Amino acid sequence: MTSPLIIDTSAHWAAVIIYVIATVLNAYGLIFENEKAYKKSYYIALAGLLVHGLAILYRWNVSGHGPYMARYEVMSSNAWMALSLFIVFSKFIPKIRPASIIVFPSVFLMIAIGIFFNPEVTKLPPSLRSIWLVLHVSFYKIALGSLLIALAFSIFYILKNRTQIKWVRKLPELDIIDNYAYRFAGFGFTFWAIAMLAGSIWAYESWGRYWGWDAIETWSLITWISFGIYLHMRRFFGLKGEKASYLFMVCFILSIIALFFTSLIESSVHSEYFRS
Amino acid sequence: MKQIKQFLLARKTVLTLILLILAAVVAGYIFPQKFTATEEQFQKWHEAYPFWSQWSGRLGLDHVFTTPWFAALLLIFLVTLTLSTVDQSRFSYRRTFGRGTAPDSEGTRIAASREDIISIIRDAGYGLAYHDESSLKFIRHRWGYWGNALLHAGMAVVIFSSLLIVLTEKRGLIHIVEGDTFLPGGPWLLEETGILGGRFILPDAVRLEKSNIEFWETDEVKYQTTVFSFMGSDGKETRHTVGINLNVNNRGLRIYQGRSFGEAFYVSLTDSAGKEFNRVFNLDHPVKRDKASYGNFMLEGIPYMLKTKYYADAEKRTIDSKDPLLVMRLVQIDQSLGGVTGSGEGGRFKMDIVEKEKVLGEVSLKTGEKKPFGPYAAELVHVAKWTSLIFTRSIGMAGVFAGFFIIIIGGTLTYFMPPREIHAVREGDGFNLTFKSMKFRNLYEDEFKKIIGTFNERKNR
């Protein structure tokens, strides 16, 4: 392991530790209704975001390319994007803030899992030198962030509906939670579409095909259609509440398979580059 | 006609169609597809799943996306989407520009002048969409009403354009050696044409001028470009450079840099009677400087197989093929029947062919070298680079991207800008204000309460 890698992974571990502290404080603040601890958790998470962001920038500088090659850097940047997106959304929509109890731990888990993959820097293949690739990858990260928030609200709905947990009772009304889950799923659906569009333009520019039906493309489409079904059911069939939450969770699992697992198990133009 | 329309627009029909399309895509993932799986993968799968193998062939599950039933499914979905887009556009138009109706719910009575109503509600981000003597209608994000219509229109455009591409696209791949010419009508290494596409014939001959590959110090490819010329029948030549993410447009053709490349070895074999056999072996470029690239060839007139490999550099110091080393092995293959297994009555027989290889000679050659090679003398006359070029001609691609773009606008309007209405109906010396939201009403009720609060504040001042 060379020294830039030690700096890189150490900075990532530092971010993980800060996020863990933020998560513990956040859960403590929310569960025991300690406003001070709850607020502090956000400041600590912001500090973690800064350290984490610097680690990503450092690696970017060392590798000469963005975080879209090795699984390690992909997971790290996904985590960073999810948390940034959540903080921006929660600034404008304060009611979604309790979702931090799901988002914060997801973030440090994503980085920690990423660290266990090979962190070696890989060279950028020529076909990946395209602005469309940057947009393609970025929008999948943004979509994942939105879906993570929707997941938090789907879980909240079930918890609030089924349990008498004290902190859960403090969450917004059930129909509001339900609508947030619906809306953030809609955001995720839209961002997913943008990511697929950017990917298809990139593929067309590189190989003259906008769609190749490779395993990862197919899974991405399966996920998008599934979210389409979820939204369609909500819009036209009045699906809501717990049933909608469970359907969303199925779609979310599909999205996780599409984003993280298909490239590990399948041979495709994507996995050729992203497997490491 | 009306019944057909009703059936096509029925929620259950639409949901069924989406589920069927999803099932088809999942089937396309589970069953190996002819155009993505290799022959070997395909064979393995068929041997492993004989039951599914029959259905795969019968229902076209081995080429789902080019089957007539999948095209029919898309066509029905396209009609549904088009009808739905028309209906939703009418609805959106009425909502955006019409008077609309105030919601039935009881409103909030405000004692304010018409001017104050307009000013305060406008300040809250609502636009005056309709007004007459007795009523005012304000909308925030009025274009949000078009979200669903655009979402559906975008999908219709993507499906229509995709069908157009599938029907008319022409695509050809060649491997070409520096200095060689590919003639119009020449055999493609791979050719794909749509049902209505016809044979793909280039308008002019193509000559490869130069293939340039740059490598990283890790031996991975850094960049790849190719210089080629179109040679018209009138003798006019036009030179182009194509590279990864740098394609060329020429008279309706798009030319792409293919990913495979390597070296072409010009080998001459001379037998004891002095008869010469000249052949060119195209071998893929090795992936590492210390790793070889392999290829097996049968030569016309020679009853043996040639097993070849080459290193990019004879000393294995560099990945650039400036001094490559070609290693050839002359192999005699004897085939015999190893055995037959299986049962009669509807069962399957399996024949095992046993191959025995006998090496007759082996030789390592650098450019210009001539050495004995079994019963022959082998000479590596010349080495040149080869590369791959992809030629396509298609219509509808712009439609696919435009459709995607429309989907995104539709999605953005639907989920980011849900429209909200405030209706102000005159009641005595004031107005009755009511709030309406097509989606996520409970997320925006605070917005309305805030506006009412502003009126109350002004009244109390």
Each residue of B26-70: pLDDT tens digit? 998 888 887 777 777 778 888 888 888 888 878 888 888 888 899
Q: Who contacts B265 (Cβ-Cβ below 8 Å, separation ≥6)?
A: B280, B281, B283, B308, B310, B324, B326, B380, B383
Q: Is residue A7 part of a domain?
A: no
* Among A107-121, A240-254, B339-353, the range of highest mean pLDDT: A240-254
Q: Write out chain B residues lying below 8 Å of A225, CB-based.
A: 18, 21-22, 25
Residue B209 has pLDDT above 70, yes or no: yes
* Mean pLDDT calculated for residue range B324-353: 71
Which of B11-16's residues contact partners 24+ apart within 8 Å by CB, and which partners? Answer: B11/A236, B11/A237, B13/B80, B14/A232, B14/A236, B14/B80, B14/B84, B15/A229, B15/A232, B15/A233, B15/A236, B15/A237
Has residue A52 been placed in a domain?
no
User: In the prediction, which pLDDT does A232 show?
Assistant: 92
Probe site for chain A from B19, B29, B41 (most A CB atoms < 10 A): B29
CB-nearest partner of A208 from B254, B411, B442: B254
What are the residue ranges spanned by the domains of chain B? 107-137+426-461, 169-262+389-404, 263-383
Least confident of A14-23, B104-113, B168-177: B104-113
Percentage, residues of chain A above pLDDT 70: 94
Residue A15 above 50 pLDDT?
yes
* pLDDT score recorded for residue A105: 93
- Residues A42-70 as b/e (b if ≥16 CB within 10 A, e otherwise) read bebbeebbebbbebbeebeeebebbbbbb
Interchain CB distance below 8 Å, B28 and A213: yes
Residue closest to A160 by CA, chosen among A236, A242, A240: A242
Give me the pLDDT at residue B354, please: 67
Q: How far is A218 from chain B (nearest CA, A)?
A: 7
Least confident of A37-46, A164-173, B416-425: A164-173
Smallest CA–CA separation between B455 and chain A, in Å?
24
By three-state DSSP, how is residue A254 classified?
helix
Instruction: Residue window 87-126, chain A: list those with CB within 8 Å of chain B.
Output: 122-123, 125-126
Partner residue opposite A206 with nearest CB, options B18, B244, B405: B244
Alpha-carbon distance of B287 to B312, in angstroms, equals 9
User: Does residue A117 lie within any of the structural domains?
Assistant: no
Q: Kindly determine whether residue B223 and residue A126, on different chains, have CB atoms separated by under 8 Å.
A: yes
Cα–Cα distance, B368 to B203 (Å, whole number): 38
DSSP 3-state assignment of B330?
strand
At A132 the pLDDT is: 86
Task: Identify the bridge partners of residue B283 per DSSP, sorted by sequence position.
Answer: B263
Burial of B105 (0-12, 13-18, 19+ CB in 10 A): exposed
What secondary structure does DSSP assign to B226-253, as a single string? EEEEEE-TTS-EEEEEEETTB-EEETTE
DSSP SS3 for A262: helix
Measured from the Cβ of residue B323, the count of other Cβ atoms closer than 10 Å reads: 15
Which of B220, B224, B415 is facing A190, going by the closest CB pair? B415
Is the sign of the CA dihedral B12, B17, B23, B26 positive or negative? negative
Mean pLDDT (whole number) for A24-40: 91
Instruction: Give the count of domains, chain A.
Output: 1
| A192 occurs within a structural domain | yes
Check if the beta carbon of residue A275 is closer than 8 Å to that of residue A121. Answer: no
Task: Find tokens 């009304």 and name the residue.
Answer: A173
Query: d(Cα B297, Cα B277) in Å, to the nearest integer?
Result: 13
Output the pLDDT for position A271.
45
- A166 located within any domain: yes
Whether B444 and chain A come into contact, CB under 8 Å, resolves to no
pLDDT of residue B458: 80
Say if A176 falls within a structural domain. Answer: yes
Would the CA dihedral through A207, A210, A213, A217 be positive or negative?
positive
| ipTM for this prediction | 0.78
Task: Supply B311's token pair.
Answer: 């290193």
Please answer yes or no on whether A207 and B412 come within 8 Å at the CB atom: no
| CB count in 10 Å sphere of residue B282 | 17
Q: What is the pLDDT of residue A59?
A: 92
- How many Å apart are CA A85 and CA A67, to the nearest integer? 17
In a domain, A142, yes or no: yes
Does any domain span residue A191?
yes
Beta bridge partners of B382: B266
Amino acid at A272: E
pLDDT tens-place string over residues A49-92: 999 999 999 999 988 888 888 888 988 999 999 999 999 988 88
pLDDT band at residue B283 using 50, 70 and 90 as cut-offs: very high
Continuous segment of H or E residues that includes residue A73: helix A71-92
- Domain residues for A134? 125-274
Q: In this structure, are residues A141 and A77 in contact, taking their beta carbons and an 8 Å threshold?
A: yes
Interface A-B, measured as beta-carbon pairs within 8 A, has a size of: 117
And the tokens for A6? 């030690």
Q: Which of residues 186-215 of A touch B (CB under 8 A)?
A: 186-187, 189-190, 193-194, 196-197, 200-201, 204-208, 210-215
Would you call B408 an interface residue with chain A, using a CB distance cutoff of 8 Å? yes
Percent of chain B with pLDDT over 90: 54
How would residue A267 be classed by pLDDT, with cut points 50, 70 and 90?
A: low
Q: Looking at residue B30, what is its pLDDT?
A: 87
Q: Which residue of B has its CA nearest to A132?
A: B245
Tokens found for residue B23: 């099932």
Q: Is the pLDDT of residue A263 over 80?
A: no
Tokens coding A2: 């060379």
Report how far residue B244's alpha carbon sits from residue B259's, in angstroms, rounded to the nearest whole number: 8
Closest CA to B412 of A187, A247, A14, A64: A187
